[in-house]
Structure 1
């Protein structure tokens, strides 16, 4: 066969091959389309939950406590461990240990789960000042000057401890002569701490 004759058969073979491919695709139930399909980005998920092994590793550090961290714009409890037994320590020491945990940067696995803290690293807690009720605690910064979420974290974490929150009220003041006030950790505070700047505070006599 001459070269020119072989060239003449090639278009016919190409068309036959294309038809065969179309039949095979149709037989597999695949619909062909000329429009690119955009399925969108993969859905993001913030679980706000920790794996059991991570919680167990944290518990080995000391006595178990619970603190409130921020996750998905809410307050969520996280298990931590401190070096003192809450039942055997004075209330200021307990408050100091809890505040230290709130100030501490979340661990790698807590960050992966979406947890963060707004409590300033330089914040400190002290006992009651002159004229304060015995259950009062003074912070090194005026409570209302703190970020709303930070104050919510402190109030709700302290409220979990009966020694720090008799009657479920956390009494906090700042470094100045302003009177200490009572704060309540409410369901609204936990659900939307940033939107509740007063944090359910109640005036004390």
Structure 2
């Protein structure tokens, strides 16, 4: 983390507190080691001025999802107060178990959402990877939009290969919400012109 700061870099998602992708919070055997690791790294993340720290459920190992979810919640509550006090958000990543991570427990959106509902904390969220999720969820169409202004003129580039990954080889649609709003588009053009003028001035000065 100090190396990133030296070079004016930000970390959007911090890691290394986890044991492995296979050994996570869904197995009580891992709770003591994970608790020690995460309490330490929550402090490191907060001290560095970052906000997000990744987690993994680990493998199923013949347990049913309800048992794994209860185990996860029990373990997480050992570190949740510390995360809330330090302003660190814990993100559990959903991974596909069909191709890349056989036996991974939390492999579908509904499982992660149910876990969030049980924990009920703004400091626990899901890391939603658009590569992993469509392997298990019934996605037929991706609808994207700007945020916080839904129809902000932004662009999303998706290659044919990405379409194939997202759809699992099935026909798949993608739509980006964009409303013709002369005022917003005009504001965006002015911002773009200002940026170009500033870069030009800096280039001339150098």
TM-score w.r.t. length of structure 2 = 0.27
Higher fraction of strand? 1
**Larger Cα-atom Rg:** 1
Higher fraction of helix? 2
TM-score w.r.t. length of structure 1 = 0.27
